[in-house]
Structures are given as structure tokens and as C-alpha cells.
Structure 1
Amino acid sequence: MNTPAGQATLGAWLDAQLAAHPSEIELGLDRVGRVADALGLRCPARQSVVIGGTNGKGSCVALTAGLIGSRARVGCYTSPHLWRYNERVTVDGAPASDADFIAAFTAIEAVRGDTRLTFFEWGTLAALWLFKRAGVDIAILEVGLGGRLDAVNIVDADIALVVSIGLDHTDWLGDTREAIGTEKAGIYRADKPALCSERDRPASLAAQAATIGACFEPIGEAFDIRRVDGQWRIRDGQQAVAAAVEADVLDDNMAASVALVHRLGLSVSAADIARAAHAQRRLPGRREWHMSSPAIVYDVGHNEAAIARLIETLTDRAFDRVHLVIGMLVDKPIEKIGAMLAPHVDQWYPVDLSGVTPRGASAAELGSRLGQGNEQAGFASPAAGLAAARSVADAADCIVVCGSFYTVAQVRDPMT
């Protein structure tokens, strides 16, 4: 890699990383592990948590950090970012600065030798380096892809949570939920809590946990949640907590996050749950409602399970008409998602992402694959699609912006 020289900017570092290893994905732990060992990064905090799953990882990171609150110094690593790379690493809620990342990248470059790293591996190592430097008590790490061979898995998690199992990234993880479950269970560790909040979980999760001797603790058995008179009742072994149900927070995500925090040795109160729910609702682009006239919901979901959640959110509310501004990547299940959304959408606005990312679908391809009469429709950008929807939507309508992080990032104002 041509190392940025002198007073290089963060952007220069990121450009150099992308140019040096243009492959977005190269699974495996040997390369990133060697660099981590050279820097002593496998134990970045007093306690480390790894969260994997098809959907809901970022929400559970936010919920877990929110439940802990100020009782510990918490570092969070998530991906991808919406607007700024700095969003990926936070310490006590504050994003890492450009200078922080430059210091981390400089330290990594000094020891990596001829080891090639992917863009994601650079970011993962930087997060661990920053957490170690900051002296965080608890590191909460979101898996990027899969689990077993993901760079985050160089950390031996004290507690691991698999949130959900769905069909996504099948080229890398396998084309069945059983195969994907095995990959995601790779974050579990022997004799350590191995949580799972997927109710319809493939048997491979428990099987993998048993094979390595992890303490498998699934929802519905080790912990659970139910609604009673507008309250959540969360049971976790001999511990129980009740709190008011919070809008736009998935019950099972909250239950799993509470169980996780209990296993960190911390109690959870109703006030902690309210604070955590607020933290999760602040996550941009996760079924994020702006109750304007018309209402707008932003959702980065891009697989069938995520779209099913979005549909549930839509059907919980009553609108005259639903306008769908959608942009997707070419390797996503566009046809299936179109069929799922069709009964709930009145007007479609397929938008072009081919100029934003090489994997982006053009408006023409997206419209053709969505079907539903969209073959001749299309807009040059997410902004153009949203403007068109706003121009015709009435106050009692809803505009949905969805399909990809790229779609939401193009139109969601980071200052609101």
C-alpha cells in the first residue's frame, strides 16, 4: 500500500486502503490476526461482546450500550456508516475523530509488514486499537459478515449474541439457514454465554454451541419477553424486570440486550430500558419515522427478513397511500422484495444507485426486477425519487425510503 505521507487526511488513508485491496470481502482470520497480535489487540477491553446476525445487530449494539449507560466506559464498533466513517467507532457515545483514526492507522501500518488488509479489516483493527488506547471497560463489536471468518472474530468474546438468521450474503455463507447458522455461531466461545434471540432458529446454532462447549442460551428458554397491559415483562432466569413498551423497538431485541447486560454483571431497571429504547430510536435509517405531513420512514433494510419488519411497521399505522422510494444493490433479492411490498405500496419510485456504488442497480434494472408495473419508471437518484414522491403525496400519506444504506444516506439529512 502506498502509505499516506506527512499530514495525510483520513480520506487519504481510506482511499489508500481501498486502492491497495479493492476486494470488498476476503474472509479469513490469519492475516488480520497477525496484525492484531503484533499490536496486542485480541483483548481490547475488560469485557468484550460480539453481536452477529442477519438483521438487528446495530439495534442490539445501541440497546446494549443504552442499558449500560454511564456505569461503564463503553466502546462500540458498527458498520457500515451512513455519512461519515467516524460513525463506526464510538467511546461513550462520541464518534472517533479523524485524528484518532489516523493515529490508529499509523500504528497498524507500522507493524503490518507485507500483510494485505481489506477495508473492513483496517477498520476493525483501528476500532480495537482505539478501544485499548481509551481504556474502555466494555467493547461491543458488531460482526460485518457471517461470523466464523469475520475480522471481528479475532476477539474472544466474553459474551456472544446471534440476533437473527436470514438468507443474505448466500454466496459467502451458504444458501440455507442451517448453513448460515453454522457460520454465525462461529462467534460463540467455549464455556462462555452464547445467546440467540431468533425464535425460529436453525438447529445448527445449538449444534455448533454444543460442539465447542459454549453455554447456549436461546430466547424462549434462557430468557423471554411478553407484553402485559402495555408493559414488557422480561424474564431472565431468576431475574425479572417490567417496563413500559417502547414504540419502534423490537421486543426480542430488547430481551436479548437485557439478558446480555445481565451476563456482564449489571442489573437492569425500567429506567435503563427507557434510556436504551431512546438510544436505539436515535439510530438513523432503522425503521426511522419522521412524523411530518406526509410521514416519512427511512429504512436501510435490504433482505427479506428486514422488509418483513418494515411491512409490520407500516401495517401498524394507517395511511391513505404509501409511496415507496427504493434503491438496491444488484446482488439483493429484488424480485422477492418487490413481491413482498406490492400489496402495501400505492406508488413506486425506483431510483438509480449505479453511480453511487459499483454494486448499485440502475433504475432501469431495478424497475424491471421489481415488476409491479415499474419497467418504464425510474429516477436518476434517491433525491430525485424522494422529490417526486413529495410532489404528489398528501398529508395523510406515507413516504418510505428503503432498500440500502446508500439509498437512505443520499436523502436523510444527518442534521435532523
Structure 2
Amino acid sequence: MLPRPDSPRDGAWPARLLIVAAALGHIGWGTILLYQYVYAAETRGWGPIVGALASSLFSVGALVAAPVAGRLTDRRRPASILILAQTVAGCGTLGMLVADGAWAFCVSSFVFGCGMTGASPAKSVLVLRWTSGGDRRRVFAYRFTGESVGMALGALASGTFVDLARPTGMTTSYATASVALGLAVLVVAVAARKARNRAASDRALVAATRVATRSALEQIRAIRSLRWVAIVTVSLSLAFYAQFEAGLPAYALSYLHVDGMTIGLGAAVNCATIVALQFVVLRVTAHRQPGPMLMLVGGIWVLCWSLLGLAPNWPGAAPLIFVSLYGVFAVGETIFAPVLNPLVAQLAPPAVVGTTLGAFAALQTTFSAVGPLVAGVLLGGELPAAFVGLHLAISVTAVLAAWRLHRLLAMPRHT
């Protein structure tokens, strides 16, 4: 657990508040994104092209914002950047709420994506600033759990009052997202106020971040270990996160012949598993090296895709297999989330920690956006075996890359 408030680690309360803010921010994500395509394409009558464009522009906004927000985090106060990003996301939700035309709706979706992903580098840097080394992995894990719970609560709440038969049927959803993001801004402001009196080492780090970003990025490209972390990140993102909301449900509906309720149950099991196992996984992995942990995540992905490929041979058990594997995927997620950002921060030059974290967020976003396209081509072309085989191969690549990273980190100098 996090240190007690009366502990000499003065980052305890700011870290707790940051987790709360992260959860509040992702309530908006869950409230909107699951219904956005149908709402734009059918409810508002703008057609499937506009529905797809709105969803794509969210990802494009995320891709644009992540590296920019990372650089700003290195040059300005991270709390201010986080507040700005969450405010931008709130403006995006309000824009979708009042949009009368398709283009205004799509632009608002782009703004929403910018704000949601633009907040990620700042949150990661604030975890580094507001926690000690021994607590960082736990706080990263709790932040991930908070975001998962926030997203699930948002989706659950929105599902109770959304009405896709009426143009005003998502008014409450957009309003809820806006209020949650507004509350997140207030919580971050309070956390930043509590964290004002930081140690001299933190002030030195802030001063160090003013070096030229371009020269620092050249140093990053020269760090072999970071390059291998990037390969692991891309592989794990492609093999699961990119297919969570598109490819996996499509494969289950079309080739495992499950119903829509099973898809929702799988997502619920995924979130429940993350919440239930987070404390156990943290305790087991607290003092483990990151390389073997990432190898384990890749191994879990390999297991899941292997069983998904075999599931059509057992039609009676296919729904149970699908739901169970969403829970198994979640075990890997609970390991991956607290390992990645601390590892990137450890390997990055101190002057560009925010920039590096932003670059990795952009990597994850980019390849997550590619996932639906891959699923559409392979599943639309009635090539389910190729779909499963591709992701199985990507998962094996992640295992091999994590093994190479572990070997590299074990060397005395791994630059």
C-alpha cells in the first residue's frame, strides 16, 4: 500500500489524489467511446463514414498530443500540463454535446483524443516526482487500476441511461464525462498544491529538463535498451490492446458464434480480474526484474491466442473460453502496466523523461489504431486462422524481445 500520510514521504497524498484524478478522467472515456460510432453513424444519421472518421480522429488526436505533451511536460510544470490536457478533453466532450453537424462532432472527437492521451505523460512524470523509488511500481499499478475501474464505471453508468434511438440519447453521457473531467482537474490542482514543497533533487530534475529536446532525443535513439523496450511495447500493444475493442469481439461474434452479452461479460471479467489481482500481482512481482516480467506477459499473450485459435473446435465451450481468456489477458495487463513506465523512466536521460514517456504513449496509440484495420482486412476476408496466427507470432516476438532486453539490462552497461 502507499505510505501513510504521516510518513516522511511527502508524496503520499499527492500520489493518492493523482490516482483519483486518473480514475475520474477515464470515466469520461468509458462513458463515450463504446457508443460513439453507433451514435454518430446511426442515431445522428451521418452514416458509417462519419462514425468511423470520428473514432479515427480520436486516435489521431491521441497520436498528435502524446509527443507534444511529453515535450511540454519536460519544459513546464507537469501538474499544469495535466490540468491543461484534462481541460482540453472536457472541451472535447462539451463540443460533442452541442455539435449540430458531422464536422463539428468529428473535430470535437479529435480534441477529446488530444486531451485524454495528452494527459498520460504528465501523469507518469508526476508519479515519478511524487513517489519514492520503492513505491513507484505500486503507484503506477494503482493508477492503471483506477483508470480501468473508471472506464468500467463510465461504461456501466452510460449503459443505463444512453438511448441510441434519440439524437439526445447521449446528452447525459457527454455531460457526465464533462463533469468527471472537471472534477479531475480540481483533484490535480489540490494534489499539486500539497506537493509544492519538494526535495532539492526534484528541483534539480526540473532544471535539468530545460536542455534542448532535440539533442536529448538523439541520445535516446542511441540507447539500445530503450529500443528493445519499444519493440516489446509495440508487440504487446499489437497483440492485445489493439484488438481489445475491435478484433477480439469481431472474431468471437463471427467465428466463435457467441452473443453480444458474452462480449460485455468478457470486458467485465477483464476489469474485475485487474481489480482483484492487482494487489497480489504487485506483491509477487515487487522485486522482480522487468525483463522476465515482460517475458511472462508475452507468454500469457501466446497462451491466450493459442487457445483462441483452438476454440472454434469446441463450439459448446467457446463462450466460456472467450470470457475466461479476457480474464487471463487481464493478468498480463496487471503485470505490464506497473513495469513499463518505471522502466522507461529509468532508462531515459533525466532531461527528457516526459518526452520519452510521451513517445512510448504515441507508440502504443499508433499501433492500437492499426489494430482495427488489421482485423477488418483479415476477418473481413474470412481469414480467421491468419488473424490468430499473426497475433500469435507477434506475441512470440514480444517474448523474444523481452528476453533480449533482459540480457541487455543484465550487462554492466546497457546503453
* TM-score calculated relative to the size of structure 2: 0.26
Higher relative contact order (CA 8 A, sep 6+): 2
* TM-score calculated relative to the size of structure 1: 0.26
Give the number of the structure whose residues are more often helix, by fraction: 2
